[in-house]
Structure formats: C-alpha cells, structure tokens
Homo-oligomer: A and B are copies of this chain.
Amino acid sequence: MGLNIKPLSDRVLIEPVAAETKTASGIYIPETAKEKPQRGKVVAVGKGTKDHEMTVSVGDMVLYGKYAGTELKLEGTDYLIMREDDILAIV
C-alpha cells in the first residue's frame, strides 16, 4: 500500500532507518555519533522545480544530516520531509 502524500516542489519524504543497521555497502552510523549523518528510505518525491530536477527515487536509501527536515507521523511511523538538497548521498 502506497502513502497518499505528495511532497511539494523539491521536497522528499523519508522513512528513517535505525542508525546501527549496516547497508549492503557496509555503511553504518554508530549511535554514539551525535552530529553524524542519518540514513533513511525515500518514500515519496516532489516534482522538483524549474531550477532543481529531482535525482532520488522512491525506494532509494539516502544519507542526510542529523537535523535535516521536519518530522511528521503517519499511522504510528515517524517520517522526515526535507528538500532534496539536504540529502548527502544515495547508498
């Protein structure tokens, strides 16, 4: 079942992933890291703007700064919505 939410402009909806999990490429961020980047899965992607074509796709795993984005909650799950430019990398 897909989420019925459309991020505006160059925003991306992300479902954060537990920080200590390892990815296929072996990246993980230890819990003790205070300002280290976080990891999450892209759940919804805006259409971009005249000046910003979107790069990430639904399903991508991404890294982002610890304080990036705005939190919102959907049926008990926490999400983050942020501008794509706050995403550091696809992992």
Contact = CB atoms under 8 A, between A and B. Distances in A.
Interface of A: 3-9, 11, 13, 23-30, 33, 35-37, 44, 47, 50-51, 53, 55-56, 62-63, 65, 70-75, 81, 84-85, 87-91
Nearest to A85: B9
Given A5-B91, A88-B8, A89-B81, A27 B70 contact: no
Given A8-B55, A89-B6, A89-B7, A70 B24 contact: no
A70 B5 contact: no
A24 B23 CA distance: 33
B27 A91 contact: no
Contacts of A89: 5-8, 11, 13, 44, 81
